[in-house]
Structure 1
Amino acid sequence: MSAPSRPLRSHQRSLSELVASLARGEASGIHDILAAVTPGGGKSLLPVIAAARLIAAGIVERVVWVVPRDSLRLQAEEAFADPAWRAALDHNLSVRAADNSPDPSRGLAGYVTTYQAVAAAPALHLAEMRRHRTLLVVDEVHHLPALAEGEAGSEAGRSEAAAWSQALLPLFRAAHLRLLLSGTLERADGRRILWLPYRTENGAPSPDIDAPGWAVIGYSRAEALAEKAVLPVNFGALDGEASWLEGGRTSGQARVGPHRLSGSGPSATTRPALFTALRTGFARDLLREAFFATRRLRAERRRRRGLRNTDAVRGLGKLLVVAPDQASAQSYHAMLQAWMPEEQARRDVRIATSAEADAHAALAAFRLTPEPAVLVTVAMAYEGLDAPEVAVVAALTHIRSRPWLEQMIARATRVDPHAGDYADQHALVFHPDDPLFAQFRARIETEQATATRPRKRPAGAGSPEPRPPAPTDDGIVPLESNALGLRYAMLRPGPSVALARPEAKEGDTAPVPPSRIERALRARVAAMVTAQAVEDEAELRVTPGAPLPHRYNAVLKRLFGNKSRAAMTAEELESALAWLERNRLQDHLHLLEGDTRYAWSTRRRWAGMERRPG
C-alpha cells in the first residue's frame, strides 16, 4: 500500500489497525464499532477506511452509509471519491447517493441514504442488507432513540425519531458489521441511544464501552490539539439591551426592559431578551460585525497573495450565518445583500433553508466553489457541513444545548488546505453575550476527555436533533434591541476538531460523485431521445396520441432490459448513449406492439409512415 501523503489522525489510525485485525481474523469477536469523535473531528473518513480494508479482505461485500440529512449524502460520496484519500488509502471504491429506487448500489461498492429514506421504504433497504454481507455505517447515531417496550411494534412512530429507529433496527440486526459514528453520546430527551449497550452508573444509565463484541474509538479535543487538527477559536461576544411586550399584542400589556443580555446569570429575562435581540436591531449589529470581519480577512488574504479584488480563488475565508428561524434568515439575507453592490450580492450571498427550492445547490456551491462567500441558514448546515473555508460564524441562534453549539462552532474550526499555513488560520465566532452561552463556553473550555460517557444534562439545554424546535416565546412581542459592546476571547483549549486532508493544491479538480455522473448521463440520454423525436415529428405526419418522446422513451426502455433511466447504472446509461449515437428509435417501434398505450405508434411504424406533403 502506498504511504499516505499525511499521517492519519490517532482515531483514524486506531480504526485502521482494528479493521486490519478483523481482516486477519484476530478480532473475530468484534461486530460493533463505536467511534465517539468530537464534532468536526474527521468522522467522514472512518467509513472509507473501514470499507476499503474490509471489502479488500472479503469480510464484507458492500457498505451502506445512513446519514441524518439529505445534504450529507453527497458529502459521503465525496469522501469515497476524494482523490487525495484514494491515493493515501490505496482504494478505488465508489458509493452513490441513492434514493429509494431499486438497485441502490448500481454495481458500486455500496450506497448512501438517509434516515428518512429508510423509514419510507424499509423493505427495500433490508433486502439489500440481506443480499450481501454488509458494513452498516450509521452517522450521528445519537439521533436514534432506543425503542421502549412495545414501541418496536406496529404502533411505533409517535415521533419522527422513533420511526427512524423502528425502520433502522432490522438493518442493524441484518448487518454483518456495524460502524456507529457520533459527536455526542447523549440525547436531550434523556433517552438511551438505539443499539448501544448500557450499564447503570451512579444510578443513571451509561454507555457500556466494555460490552462484549464492541470496540470503542474516541477522539478528544486534547488529542486533536496535540495533532494540530483544530484551528484556534476567537469568540466575539456582543452585549446589548432588549425591550419587549409581555403577554402578546393585546392592548394594555406592559413594556419590559430594557434588559441587558449579559446580566449576572440566567434569569427569567434571559430567554425573552435573547428572543427579542435575534429579531431586532441587535441582530443587525452582530451581523454587521461578522460581515466586516470576514471582509477584512478576505482583503488581507488577497493582499498577502497578490490577488485582485475580482480574482475568484479558494482559501480566502467565508462567513456562515446561523439564524433562529426562516423568517429571520430571510431578513438577514436581505441585510447582507444591501451591504454590497447588486451584482456582488447576487454572486456572494446565498440562503439555504428548507423553504428554498435551491437550498442543496446553495450548500454545494458554498462548500465546493470560491463563491458564494456568505451562506445564511437555520439548521441545514450546522451538523456535518464539510466546508473548511468557513472562517467566521455569526451565531444568531436561540439554541443553547452543548452538542448543538459544538456542532455549529466546528464549522469554523476545520483546517483550510487552501488558506496557507496553519499558524495563519483561526476561527472567529460572533455570538450574543448571554449567560447561557457563557455557561456553554465554560463547559467546553474545561472539558478535555472524549465524550464516551454521558454527562448530566444541564438545565435548559435544547435539543441536538437535526431539526431544532422552532423558537417560540408565548406572549413575547419583540420591540427593540441594540448592541452595547464587543469583547474578544480566545477559547481554551479549543472547542472541537477538524480533519486536515492530504495536501490539496490550488486548482485541484474536485471529485465527481457517482450520483452526479448518473444525473448528467440521464440528462444527456433525455436530450438525445427528445432530439430524435423532434426531428421525426418535423418530418412525419403525426396524429394525436401519446407524445412521440414518450413513445421513444418506452422503446429505449424495452431495448435495455425494460429498465427505466432512473434504474440504470452509469455503465448502462453510457451504453444507451452509445446506442443512440448509432441508431434511430423510430426503427424499433415494433417493440411496442401489443401495448394499447402505443397502438398508434405500432400501426404506423417507420416503414409505412406517410410523409408530409411537400
Structure 2
Amino acid sequence: MPRKKTRTFRDPRDSQRNPDRPLCADVTLRRRPLTRPAPSLRSHQRTLMALVAAVAAGEAAHIQDILAAVTPGGGKSLLPVIAAHRLIAAGLVERVVWVVPRDSLRLQAEEAFADPLWRAAFGHTLSVRAADNERDPARGLSGYITTYQAIAAAPALHLAEARAHRTLLVIDEVHHLPAPARPGADEASTEDAEAGAWSRAMLPVMEASTFRLYLSGTLERADGRRILGLPYRPAAPGRGPELDLDAPGLAVIGYSRAQALAERAVLPVTFGAIDGEASWLEGGRIAGDSPRVGPHRLGAGSVRVTTRPALFTALRTGFARDLLSEAFFATKRLRARRRAERCLPPGETARGLGKLLVVAPDQSSARAYLETLRSWMPADQGARDVRLATSGQGDAHAALAAFRLTPEPAVLVTVAMAYEGLDAPEVAVVAALTHIRSRPWLEQMLARATRVDPHAGPYDGQQALVFHPDDPLFARFRQELETEQGSSVRPRRERPASAVVPERTRWRDDEPAGITPLESNAIGLRYALLRPRLAEPSPVAPPPEPPSVTERTLRQRLAAGVAAQAVEDEASLRVPRGGNLAHRYNAVLKRVLGKGRATMTLPELEAALGWLERNRLSDHLDCLDGDARYAWSARQRRGRWPTERAAGR
C-alpha cells in the first residue's frame, strides 16, 4: 500500500489552475460519430431467458418465484422485459406489474420496455406505463409501473387488478420490504413504520399474483430483519437469517460483481481516499466549559470513540470543501480531456463527457455544497451545470431527469434520493460525503459510477472515480469489496479498538448527539484501483420515450388542436361569440369519442388526434343539446346566430 503524503489543497478560485486547457492542442483529431453497439445478453439475463422458456414449455411448471440477486449496476432492469415477453407470449400471464421503491424510477422502468434495440432483439411489442392510483392503471397496455407508496395508499385497487388478471409481479429492490414484525413489537423509527406499511399492503398483492420476480442488488437489510416473500432457514443460535435457496417453487439467479467485471458489465473503480483531522466541542454547547476534542485523524481513531464524531464534523466543515474540490476538479479534467479528444469547441454540449454525483449527509449540507460548487463557476454556468435533488425540492424529479437524459447539468447534489437505482451512465465521479457505512447502501452509491457509458467511447477508456473520507469503516467496506467478502448475512464479530477503550456500542448511521463541529481539514490523498479481468463489451441503451411521456404529448396535442379550432371558428364567425368556446369544444370532443382524454389509452389518444385533424368540432355542437350546462350556447346557435350571420356581423 503506498505511503500517505501530506499535500496542500489548492483554492478552487485559483485562476492559474486551468484544467480546461486542451491536453493535445497540436494534434488534429477527426471527430467520429458515437454509435451504440448491437445489444448482447449477459450471463444472468441468458439464464433467466432459459428459465422462463422452460417454465413456458412446462418443463419447470413448479416455479412460481424467481429471485435475481444482481450486483448494483449489473443490468437487472432488462430482466422484467425478458420474463414478461416469454410468459405473456406463452399465455401464462396477461400483464406485468412492476413495483419500484421510488417515484423517480418509474420512468426508467418504462424505458426498459420501450427500448427499440431490445424490442428488435426480442421481437416483443410490450409496453407498460407509469401509473398513479387511478382506475384502469394499465390503460390497454401490457401492464403498469407503480411504487410501494402507491400500493400502500390504495391497496384495494392493486389487489383487485392482481385478482382480475394473471399477473407477473416484479418487486424491485425487494430488500425495502421487511417481513412482518412479531406481534406486539413496535417499529423502531418512522422509516421502519413506513416500510412495515409497505409490506402489509404488498403481501396480499404478492399472494394474488401468478408469478413473482424478486430483484435486488443487496439481499440483506441493515436492520438484520428478514425480507418479505423470501424463504429462510430456521434461525440458528448466534446467527442471522439465512436464505433457503432450495425452497420449493423458487429459482435463484445470481450475478456477482466479479462476474460483472469479467463480462465488462460494470466499470473498474478507483477510490480516492482522503484522510483528515477534525475538532469539535463535547456537550453540544459553545460555552466555555464545553471541552474541546481533537484534532483527531479520521483514519487513525477508535471506530466508535472518535471516528463517528470526527466524520460528523468533517462532513460539515473544511474537510468537505477539500473533498469537493478534488472531485470537482477531477471531473473538470476528465471533461476537458474528452472534449479535446473530440475537438469540441468551447460551450458546445455533448453526451459522454462525464458527470459528478455528490452525496451529502443531510439536506442542509447538500444546500451548502450546492452553493460551494456554484461559487467555483461563473454565475450563469453554475445555475445551469449544478442542480440539487432532495426530497425537500419541488423540482427534484425534473433535476433528476435532466441529469440522466441531457448533457446538462453536469453536477448533481443529493442526499439519498438519487443513490439507489439511478440509471445515469454518464456519472464518472462520485463525492461520497455521507456518514452512512452499511455495505448495501455504499454498494448502491458506488454503482452510480460503475455503469458503462455508451457515449464515452471504448470500455478501456472509462473508469469510475470515488472520493471518500479515509475512515476505518469505509476502508473495511473497500477491503470486503476487493475480496468479494461480506455477502453473507451472518453478523461479523466486532473487535475492540484497544484494550484500554473497549467498544461496547454498535456503530449507528444516524448523527451523533451532543457535539458541536468546530473545524476540519484534509491532509492526505491516496488512490486505490480495483482492476477487473476484461472481456467483450456490452451495450447500454439510450433512454427512449416511455408510454407515459407519449400519452402526455398526445394529450397536449389534443388540447392544442381543440384550442386552435376554437380560435379559428371565433375569428371566422363560424360560431356565436360568448362563453368559453374551448371549454364547449372539449365537451363536444368527449361526447363524440365517448370518453375524456384523461382516461384514454394510447391507441384511443392517437385515434382521437386523427379524428380531430379530419373533422370540425363546430359541426358537432348538437351533441350538447339538452345539457343545461351548455343551454345558452344551444339557444345562441339555433336562434340569434343565423340572423347575425346573415347580416354579416
Q: Same fold (TM over 0.5)?
A: yes
Map of 1:47 onto structure 2: 80
Map of 1:566 onto structure 2: 598
Map of 2:476 onto structure 1: 439
Aligned partners of 1:445 and 1:493 also within 8 Å: no
Aligned partners of 1:415 and 1:498 also within 8 Å: no
SS of the aligned residue for 1:267 comes to helix
CA distance in 2, matches of 1:362, 1:501: 28
Aligned partners of 2:264 and 2:535 also within 8 Å: no
Structure 1 range deviating more: 342-351 or 289-298: 342-351
Deviations along 1:343-380, whole A, 9 cap, x unmatched? 32233222211222222222122112222211111111
CA distance in 2, matches of 1:551, 1:126: 38
Would you say 1:120 and 2:153 are equivalent positions?
yes
Deviations along 1:210-249, whole A, 9 cap, x unmatched? 0000001111122122222221111111111222222224
Residue in structure 1 matching 2:527, options 488, 497, 503: 488
Cα gap change, 1:316 to 1:448, in 2 (>3 Å):
same
Deviations along 1:546-582, whole A, 9 cap, x unmatched? x444443333223222x33221112222222223334
Aligned partners of 1:23 and 1:54 also within 8 Å: yes
Map of 1:18 onto structure 2: 51
- Structure 1 or 2, whichever has the larger Rg, is 2
Aligned partners of 2:452 and 2:540 also within 8 Å: no
Would you say 1:233 and 2:269 are equivalent positions?
yes
Aligned partners of 1:101 and 1:567 also within 8 Å: no
Aligned partners of 1:220 and 1:448 also within 8 Å: no
Cα gap change, 1:605 to 1:103, in 2 (>3 Å):
farther
CA distance in 2, matches of 1:160, 1:489: 39
Aligned partners of 1:445 and 1:492 also within 8 Å: no
Aligned partners of 2:278 and 2:294 also within 8 Å: yes
Cα gap change, 1:528 to 1:174, in 2 (>3 Å):
same
Map of 2:335 onto structure 1: 298
CA distance in 2, matches of 1:59, 1:91: 16
Aligned partners of 1:587 and 1:605 also within 8 Å: no
Deviations along 1:135-185, whole A, 9 cap, x unmatched? 110000110111235699xxx998111111111111111111110001122
Aligned partners of 2:263 and 2:536 also within 8 Å: no
CA distance in 2, matches of 1:224, 1:255: 48
Map of 2:209 onto structure 1: 175
Kindly provide the amino acid, as one letter, of the partner of residue 580 in structure 1. L
Deviations along 1:445-498, whole A, 9 cap, x unmatched? 22258x4x52327885667xxxxxxx543322222221111111123769xx99
Deviations along 1:81-131, whole A, 9 cap, x unmatched? 112222232322211111122222222211111111111122222222222
Map of 2:181 onto structure 1: 148
Kindly provide the amino acid, as one letter, of the partner of residue 199 in structure 1. R
Map of 2:65 onto structure 1: 32
- Deviation for aligned residue 1:132: 1.8
Cα gap change, 1:579 to 1:5, in 2 (>3 Å):
closer
Map of 2:556 onto structure 1: 523
Aligned partners of 2:177 and 2:198 also within 8 Å: yes
SS of the aligned residue for 1:489 comes to strand
Map of 2:252 onto structure 1: 216
Map of 1:67 onto structure 2: 100
TM-score normalised per structure 2: 0.85
Cα gap change, 1:503 to 1:374, in 2 (>3 Å):
closer
Structure 1 range deviating more: 57-66 or 599-608: 599-608
Aligned partners of 2:363 and 2:415 also within 8 Å: yes
Deviations along 1:67-88, whole A, 9 cap, x unmatched? 0001110101111111222223
Aligned partners of 1:146 and 1:192 also within 8 Å: yes
Map of 2:89 onto structure 1: 56
CA distance in 2, matches of 1:71, 1:168: 20
Residue in structure 2 matching 1:339, options 372, 376, 380: 376
CA distance in 2, matches of 1:38, 1:503: 16
Equivalent runs, 1:181-260 vs 2, <5 Å: 181-200=215-234, 202-203=236-237, 204-249=240-285, 251-252=287-288, 253-260=290-297
Aligned partners of 1:5 and 1:503 also within 8 Å: no
- Deviation for aligned residue 1:589: 4.2
Cα gap change, 1:500 to 1:512, in 2 (>3 Å):
farther
Kindly provide the amino acid, as one letter, of the partner of residue 514 in structure 2. G
> What stretches of structure 2 of length at least 5 have no aligned partner?
1-36, 495-504
Cα gap change, 1:500 to 1:69, in 2 (>3 Å):
farther
Kindly provide the amino acid, as one letter, of the partner of residue 263 in structure 2. E
Map of 2:546 onto structure 1: 513
Aligned partners of 2:576 and 2:636 also within 8 Å: no
Structure 1 range deviating more: 277-286 or 224-233: 224-233
Aligned partners of 2:265 and 2:538 also within 8 Å: no
Map of 2:464 onto structure 1: 427
Aligned partners of 1:278 and 1:397 also within 8 Å: yes
SS of the aligned residue for 1:212 comes to coil
> What stretches of structure 1 of length at least 5 have no aligned partner?
464-470
SS of the aligned residue for 2:556 comes to helix
- Deviation for aligned residue 1:503: 6.9
- Deviation for aligned residue 1:48: 0.8
SS of the aligned residue for 1:553 comes to helix
Cα gap change, 1:80 to 1:490, in 2 (>3 Å):
same
SS of the aligned residue for 2:233 comes to strand
CA distance in 2, matches of 1:56, 1:607: 59
Cα gap change, 1:608 to 1:119, in 2 (>3 Å):
farther
- Aligned residues between the structures: 590
Residue in structure 1 matching 2:351, options 311, 314, 337: 314
CA distance in 1, matches of 2:425, 2:522: 30
Map of 2:164 onto structure 1: 131
Would you say 1:477 and 2:516 are equivalent positions?
yes
CA RMSD of aligned residues (A): 2.8
Kindly provide the amino acid, as one letter, of the partner of residue 20 in structure 1. A
Map of 2:26 onto structure 1: none
Aligned partners of 2:389 and 2:400 also within 8 Å: yes
Map of 2:24 onto structure 1: none
Cα gap change, 1:115 to 1:30, in 2 (>3 Å):
same
SS of the aligned residue for 2:77 comes to helix
- Deviation for aligned residue 1:38: 1.5
Kindly provide the amino acid, as one letter, of the partner of residue 565 in structure 1. R
CA distance in 2, matches of 1:283, 1:355: 22
TM-score normalised per structure 1: 0.89
SS of the aligned residue for 2:197 comes to helix
- Deviation for aligned residue 1:319: 0.7
SS of the aligned residue for 1:78 comes to helix
Cα gap change, 1:503 to 1:211, in 2 (>3 Å):
closer
Residue in structure 1 matching 2:489, options 440, 447, 454: 454
Deviations along 1:240-295, whole A, 9 cap, x unmatched? 12222222246343333222222244032222211121111111111010010011
SS of the aligned residue for 1:428 comes to strand
CA distance in 1, matches of 2:379, 2:517: 30
Structure 1 range deviating more: 323-332 or 132-141: 323-332
Structure 1 range deviating more: 161-170 or 21-30: 161-170
Would you say 1:575 and 2:610 are equivalent positions?
no
Map of 1:467 onto structure 2: none
Aligned partners of 2:576 and 2:641 also within 8 Å: yes
Kindly provide the amino acid, as one letter, of the partner of residue 454 in structure 1. V
Residue in structure 1 matching 2:399, options 349, 362, 370: 362
Equivalent runs, 1:490-505 vs 2, <5 Å: 490-491=529-530, 501-502=538-539
Aligned partners of 1:60 and 1:133 also within 8 Å: yes
Kindly provide the amino acid, as one letter, of the partner of residue 512 in structure 2. D
